[in-house]
């Protein structure tokens, strides 16, 4: 079953049936059964759709650091950071990152660990690693300039269909549509797409958008058009509690007309959450803490963390730290557990404040102030520290 609905008839419930019929395009085969082939009516003409959208954008767009210009490097960094991460979170990281790495060249010349510590707290650290790798490739193979060519852009690590489209359109003005979470959510409501937004449904939506860009004649205006759709998704057509009262497209939004704006899109299924417990040894020396690198787990690989053993605290934990880490320590105090979710894992960290009875093995440990350049950490480290302070 694919998600896109048959639209024959929808124009009847829109306000402008006559006009809407002028704006139709052929959808790809539905359910692989040709008898269901049908023309699709955008509820209003494509040009009207675009003009309402663009007017709203002119009046409501946020001034964001990466919207100051169309510099490909700035667009690139911002788009990578904005994957899975909200604007408000990204802003300070983006500002700092551009100060530290003002150009593709500067990024390519840096060490990966430094980049990861600039990324610390942002999550999805593979984005940072890939951005760094890609910067080196761009310097070596593309003369230091992000490729304008779609297939070349897609070759770069960390650049998928969305990000490639975003950079090509927003930085270079290539008239390609983009389809991110905001935009797919918006159209799932506007067109009332019932299926889960994945796979073939998204492929169909992508084709629909190509046609929309063409019919709406927004090729010259592609930067605003794409950003307007995303901005609408971020500010109006939000995941929860969409602000339909201030939506310039509500009058022709099919989900809104049917009262489905809160139930679409259908959520995708997720893996059940699994709980894990760890005891972590917090050992401080002034501002510095004893940290070690995580090589055991698949998550946060290579990141610095408090020495950690499996399971909640037991009476044998001193013995366990000796066996697991070669640390000779004495427990001073147990602190309240701190929970942290990473995908399907719920990690429960049980901090114990300890003192070191003999020096830590130098090979595997370091004394550092969390957040120190070159020592990437996850935000859960800060979470534990903050919890201990209080």
Which residues are the active-site residues? 79
> Would you call 294 exposed, middle or buried from its count of C-beta atoms within 10 A (0-12, 13-18, 19+)?
middle
Q: Least distance from C-beta 200 to DNA, angstroms?
A: 6
Of the candidates 55, 42, 24, which has an alpha carbon nearest to the alpha carbon of residue 221?
Answer: 55
* Measured distance CA(156)–CA(159) in Å, rounded: 6
Interface with DNA (CB under 7 A), residue from 12, 55, 126, 258? 126
> How many CB atoms are located within 10 Å of the residue 184 CB?
22
Of the candidates 171, 146, 203, which has an alpha carbon nearest to the alpha carbon of residue 3?
Answer: 203
Q: Note whether 263 binds DNA by CB under 7 A.
A: no
- For residues 276, 279, 285, 286, the Cα torsion angle rounded to the nearest 10 degrees is 50
> 200-239 mask for DNA (x: CB under 7 A)?
x-------------------------------------xx
Interface with DNA (CB under 7 A), residue from 344, 357, 361, 369? 344
Q: Note whether 300 binds DNA by CB under 7 A.
A: yes
Q: Note whether 99 binds DNA by CB under 7 A.
A: no
Residue with structure tokens 């005891």?
A: 279
Q: Least distance from C-beta 89 to DNA, angstroms?
A: 4
Q: Half-sphere exposure of residue 299, counting CA atoms within 13 Å on the CB side?
A: 13
Q: Least distance from C-beta 231 to DNA, angstroms?
A: 13
Interface with DNA (CB under 7 A), residue from 13, 36, 96, 267? 267
Q: Least distance from C-beta 120 to DNA, angstroms?
A: 7
Q: Note whether 341 binds DNA by CB under 7 A.
A: yes
Q: Note whether 76 binds DNA by CB under 7 A.
A: no
CB 4 within 8 A of CB 193: yes
Q: Note whether 310 binds DNA by CB under 7 A.
A: no
Interface with DNA (CB under 7 A), residue from 243, 310, 357, 379? 379
Q: Which stretch binds DNA (CB under 7 A): 44-52, 59-67, 175-183, 220-228?
A: 175-183
Residue with structure tokens 């990466």?
A: 66
* Measured distance CA(360)–CA(19) in Å, rounded: 76
Interface with DNA (CB under 7 A), residue from 21, 51, 83, 214? 83
- What are the helix and strand counts (H, E) for the chain? 16, 11
| 100: Cα separation from own chain's centroid | 22
Of the candidates 191, 266, 245, which has an alpha carbon nearest to the alpha carbon of residue 27?
Answer: 191
Q: Which stretch binds DNA (CB under 7 A): 122-130, 143-151, 246-254, 362-370?
A: 122-130
Q: Least distance from C-beta 315 to DNA, angstroms?
A: 26
Residue (35 or 272) nearer to DNA, CB: 272
Identify the three-state secondary structure at position 329. strand
Residue (149 or 319) nearer to DNA, CB: 149
Residues that bind DNA (CB under 7 A): 83-86, 88-89, 120-126, 130, 156-164, 180-182, 184-185, 197-200, 238-241, 267-268, 270-271, 273, 297-301, 339-346, 378-380
């Amino acid at each position: 079953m694919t998600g896109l609905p048959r639209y024959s008839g929808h124009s009847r419930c829109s306000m402008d049936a006559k006009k809407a019929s002028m704006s139709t395009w052929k959808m790809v085969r539905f359910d692989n059964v040709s008898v269901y082939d049908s023309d699709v009516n955008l509820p209003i003409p494509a040009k009207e759709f675009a003009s309402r959208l663009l007017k709203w954008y002119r009046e409501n767009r946020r001034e964001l650091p990466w919207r100051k210009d169309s510099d490909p490097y700035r667009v690139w960094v911002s788009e990578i950071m904005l994957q899975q991460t909200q604007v408000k979170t990204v802003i300070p990281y983006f500002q700092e990152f551009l100060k530290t790495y003002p150009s593709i060249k500067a990024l390519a010349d840096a060490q990966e660990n430094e980049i990861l510590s600039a990324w610390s707290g942002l999550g999805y650290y593979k984005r940072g690693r890939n951005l760094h790798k890609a910067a080196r490739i761009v310097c070596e193979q593309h003369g230091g300039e992000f490729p304008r060519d779609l297939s070349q852009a897609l070759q770069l690590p960390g650049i998928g269909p969305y990000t490639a489209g975003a950079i090509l359109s927003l930085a270079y003005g290539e008239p390609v549509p983009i389809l991110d979470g905001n935009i797919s959510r918006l159209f799932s409501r506007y067109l009332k797409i019932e299926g889960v937004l994945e796979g073939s449904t998204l492929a169909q939506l992508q084709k629909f958008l190509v046609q929309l860009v063409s019919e709406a004649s927004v090729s010259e205006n592609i930067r605003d058009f794409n950003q307007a759709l995303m901005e609408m998704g971020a500010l109006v057509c939000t995941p929860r509690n969409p602000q339909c009262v201030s939506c310039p497209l509500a009058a022709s939004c099919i989900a809104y007309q049917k009262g489905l704006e809160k139930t679409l899109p259908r959520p995708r299924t997720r893996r059940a959450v699994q709980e894990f417990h760890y005891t972590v040894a917090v050992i401080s020396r002034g501002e510095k803490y004893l940290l070690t690198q995580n090589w055991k787990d698949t998550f946060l690989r290579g990141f610095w963390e408090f020495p950690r053993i499996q399971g909640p605290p037991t009476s044998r934990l001193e013995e366990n730290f000796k066996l697991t880490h070669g640390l000779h320590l004495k427990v001073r105090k147990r602190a309240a557990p701190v929970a942290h979710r990473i995908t399907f894992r719920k990690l429960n960290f049980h901090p114990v404040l300890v003192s070191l009875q003999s020096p830590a093995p130098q090979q595997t440990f370091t004394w550092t102030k969390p957040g120190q350049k070159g020592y990437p950490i996850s935000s859960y480290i800060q979470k534990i520290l903050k919890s201990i302070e209080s």
